[in-house]
Chain A
Amino acid sequence: MRVVALWSEMAKDGAAKLSKNVLRMKFMQRGLDAELKQQLEEEEKRIVSDEHWSLDLPELTAKEGDLERSCVPCEDLVYGRMSFSSFNPEVEVNFYEMKRKSVSRMETDITDEEMARRYESLVESMRKKFAKKRNRSTIAKSEEDVNCNVDDNQHKKVFLKPQD
């Protein structure tokens, strides 16, 4: 704090000012406000981004784009390491796996609806498992209720002070 006070005094005098790098050090920043800190940070960012070179021509990038140099995606080429009739079992297993992955990705997955159904039942069972004994009956009741009526007759039991 003393250093900061000294600094502001010296600056007012017009005597030798502290350099910017010293001012950026941690112990000089502690005395500053949050606003001043933000201002300093923004200035720094501006300086840094000014120094970066960039092409200001969106048309130029649009013209050249979308060039595919490799023919692997064009012709859907398969993995290059193959083995036949179990000559090298590891390679063969790997090869068939890569082939299977590239050919059929959607067939091994389950459909979205099935996933939603399973997730629902999973959530229910987890809730029941971790519910306290008192709440388990309410959960059973709310499951049977097809209309899902929100019934608030089961208030949480609080300690009642005896009225004396």
Chain B
Amino acid sequence: MDTIHACFKDKIGEVLLPGDVFSFRLPESGDGSIKTDKIICGPGLRRNGEEVQVCKSGILRHKQPNMYWIDSQQRRYVPAKGESVIGIVTAKSGDIFKVDVGGSEQASLSYLAFEGATKRNRPNVQVGDLVYGQFTIANKDMEPELVCIDSCGRANGMGVFGADGLLFKLSLGLVRRLLAPQSEIVKDLEKIFPFELVVGMNGRVWVKAKTVQQTLIVTSLLESCENMTSQQRQTLFKRVAEGSL
């Protein structure tokens, strides 16, 4: 147990490249069975028996007690189970809707996967609507499936949204920073003016504010946050806040 974590410990916070391998000798146990230690490999790492291989380039991160992953940057989204995304309804065929989520395939969304939907009581979803839903099935072998209810059957904010507002695209790393538990960007943004924000893990963000101008301001602020340090960002936000007042 200690040997495994020791292998990782010196590399936490360092940049790794695909092909880097962590191998550790598991101690010989009496019955000869392979004792798998409870290490959870997050995105970017692959476990191969006694080795852990890096598949993406990025910084190694660690979370107690035993989770490791690679923090990488990309713009192309790959669907993963359990993630909440914004999709655009492209087609309606029979009992399912085809939703574009920005992945390699369009996801399918059944009309029964909305709160309070029955066979008689169909949800009001048209082609071109924005939906916020979660993936129930998302792997490389099958077509991804979305649902707009949680396991208890409640909508919980998911479903069709967005009568007005603006939808735009950000990089995945910035989206993850926005959704972090104590996100500074969000804290700075909310001081400027009231607005509503929906963030999808596929890089799509939807903003709505009182006027069109305010909406555009928020959009351009978010887009510019990508390559700024927190200092620059705070000065920029302060200027905007004073300017809008």
Residues 46-60 of B at the A interface (beta carbon under 8 Å): 46-49
B194 and A68 within 8 A (CB): no
B67 and A62 within 8 A (CB): no
B189 and A84 within 8 A (CB): yes
Give A98 to B63 CA distance when docked, in angstroms.
22
Is A82 an interface position by the 8 A CB rule?
yes
A77 and B176 within 8 A (CB): yes
Is B240 an interface position by the 8 A CB rule?
no
Shortest distance in angstroms between B3's beta carbon and chain A's nearest beta carbon? 18
| Chain A residues with CB under 8 A of B194 | 83-87
Partner of B40 from the list A66, A85, A88, A91 (CB cut-off 8 Å) is A66
Partner of B69 from the list A62, A74, A88, A95 (CB cut-off 8 Å) is A74
For chain A, the count of residues having a C-beta within 8 Å of the partner chain is 33
Is B120 an interface position by the 8 A CB rule?
no
Is B225 an interface position by the 8 A CB rule?
no
B181 and A76 within 8 A (CB): yes
Is B87 an interface position by the 8 A CB rule?
no
Give A67 to B70 CA distance when docked, in angstroms.
13
Give A161 to B40 CA distance when docked, in angstroms.
77
For chain B, the count of residues having a C-beta within 8 Å of the partner chain is 47
A83 and B43 within 8 A (CB): no
A82 and B199 within 8 A (CB): yes
Give A98 to B47 CA distance when docked, in angstroms.
33
Give A88 to B132 CA distance when docked, in angstroms.
16
Give A88 to B206 CA distance when docked, in angstroms.
14
Produce 1/0 per residue, B181-203, CB < 8 A to A. 10100100110011111111100
Is B38 an interface position by the 8 A CB rule?
yes
Take A63-B48, A84-B197 as given contacts and tell me if A70 and B180 are in contact as well, using a CB distance cutoff of 8 Å: no
Is B36 an interface position by the 8 A CB rule?
yes
B199 and A80 within 8 A (CB): yes
**Chain B: residues with CB nearer than 8 A to chain A?**
34, 36, 38-43, 46-49, 61, 63, 67, 69, 80-84, 132, 138, 156-158, 161, 176, 179-181, 183, 186, 189-190, 193-201, 208-210
18 A-B residue pairs with Cβ-Cβ distance under 8 Å, sorted by A, are: A59-B34, A62-B36, A65-B47, A66-B40, A67-B41, A68-B69, A70-B81, A71-B80, A72-B82, A72-B201, A74-B67, A76-B181, A77-B179, A79-B157, A80-B198, A80-B199, A95-B157, A103-B181
Among all A-B residue pairs, the 9 with the closest Cβ atoms: A85-B194, A84-B190, A70-B80, A77-B179, A80-B199, A87-B194, A69-B80, A74-B42, A81-B157
Knowing that A71-B43, A75-B61 touch, tell me 19 more A-B residue pairs with CB under 8 angstroms. Answer: A59-B34, A65-B36, A66-B36, A66-B41, A67-B41, A67-B46, A70-B81, A71-B42, A71-B69, A72-B82, A74-B61, A78-B183, A80-B201, A81-B157, A83-B194, A84-B196, A86-B194, A87-B195, A91-B157
